[in-house]
Structure 1
Amino acid sequence: MKESSRTAPYVCFSCRKQFERNWDFNTNFKKCPECGETTVRYDHKFRVPKRTDDAQWKKVEFLRDHGFYFQRVYDQGDEGGLQYANYPKDLNEARDFVVKYQEFAITIE
């Protein structure tokens, strides 16, 4: 299938880098252009942590392992409507987040 002209961030956990790649609608994984390991596609709003920020990388890996790729997650708003939920700031918050929003977790293949 032809790739889109849209790009998406693909994250390499081995290099701890993000690469903007053409978004193939059928492919959530691509080979890392630097190390050759597998990268995974994240939501376009995702921003990779600094390579040296071990705590943030552990949080991102924990969220990934529980089906959260920084896709949109919704919470009940104060006036009854839906609003975007904020992603957790650290690993402790992430543990609560994956339980509270488990219905939004996704499996990518």
Structure 2
Amino acid sequence: MATPYNMAFACLSCCKSFKREFDLSQESPKELVCPECGGVAHNFGRHFKSPKKTDTKQWQKIRYLFSHGFRFQKIRIGPGHHDVVPYPDTLEAAREFVEKYKDYAIKYSPRT
């Protein structure tokens, strides 16, 4: 059995985040039901660090990044792809980030 990893999920409606353990040898779900509001909680992967529920500016930035295909996946650039690009701190910086790294965005089709 492969090593289990905690994957971070976040509901962009109520700003609830939580982790669930998955075996990486199997595909983890892209969405789960939010335990707080019953809405959709999206998989933001292993590296996502949730802001406080009350930090509206950070949640606005997360929604913006998410809507442009960024799920806080690692973006590796440079020789040998060892350099990891940090995610932006502000919504303004996120707009520049999305334009600069658009080729790294996840092409994701929401459930229908």
Band the TM-score falls in, shorter-chain normalisation: 0.7 to 0.9
Partner of 2:42: 40
The 5 A counterparts of 1:1-109 are: 5-23=4-22, 25-76=27-78, 80-82=79-81, 83-109=83-109
Q: 1:14 and 1:86, CA in 2 relative to 1: closer, same or farther beyond 3 A?
A: same
The count of corresponding residues between Structure 1 and Structure 2 is 103
- Matched-pair contact (CA < 8 Å) for 1:10–1:20: yes
CA distance in 1, matches of 2:53, 2:61: 13
Judge which range, 87-96 or 16-25, deviates more. Answer: 16-25
TM-score by length of 2: 0.81
RMSD, matched Cα? 1.9
Structure 2's unaligned 5+ residue stretches are none
> Percent of counterpart pairs with the same letter?
36
Task: Give the Cα–Cα distance (whole angstroms) in 1 for the partners of residues 108 and 28 of structure 2.
Answer: 10
Q: Distance in 1 between matches of 2:5 and 2:98?
A: 29
Runs of 4+ aligned residues of structure 1 deviating over 4 Å after TM superposition are none
Q: Is the 8 A contact 1:28 1:108 kept in 2?
A: no
CA contact (8 A) 2:5 2:46 kept: no
Flag structure 1 segments of 5+ consecutive residues without an equivalent.
none
Structure 1 residue 84: Cα displacement: 0.4
Q: With structure 1 as the length reference, what TM-score do the two structures score?
A: 0.83
